[in-house]
Amino acid sequence: METGPLAAALPNLRLEVEAYRLAAQAFALAQSPRQAMEAGIAGLGVIARAPSEQVPRAAAKELGQLLLRLTEKGSLSDYRHGVKSQLARLLGPTWQTELGEGMA
């Protein structure tokens, strides 16, 4: 998670989002779902600061897919509605189609 703040100092929005996305993915692979969720939410926060024309859609989609997988069941399922709301706000009304079937 240290790479996110380092990337923010550049400033380079895409690098900052990618840093959090990669951290979330690494935590998920390491079976640390809570830390993965924290990194993913931080990444969505960075995306939320971006002007709509500068939203890194590919990274937002990948982050969204990961967060939705993390919230499918278990201790993080309470976050699912909030993740969906944030994705709708960031990606617009077609977010479910963009993320692919079964992700919503």
pLDDT digit string, tens, across residues 53-76 = 888 888 889 999 999 999 998 899
The pLDDT tens digits for 7-18 are 666 677 888 899
Provide the pLDDT for residue 4. Answer: 59
Q: How far is Cα 90 from Cα 45, in angstroms, rounded to an integer? A: 10
Q: How far is Cα 10 from Cα 25, in angstroms, rounded to an integer? A: 22
Q: How far is Cα 29 from Cα 51, in angstroms, rounded to an integer? A: 31
- Note the pTM of the prediction, 2 decimals: 0.84
Give the chain's mean pLDDT: 87
Query: ω before 56 within 30° of 0 (cis)?
Result: no
3-state secondary structure of 74: helix
- The region that residue 50 occupies, defined by phi over 0 for left and psi between -120 and 50 for alpha, beta otherwise, is beta
Token pair for 14: 């895409």
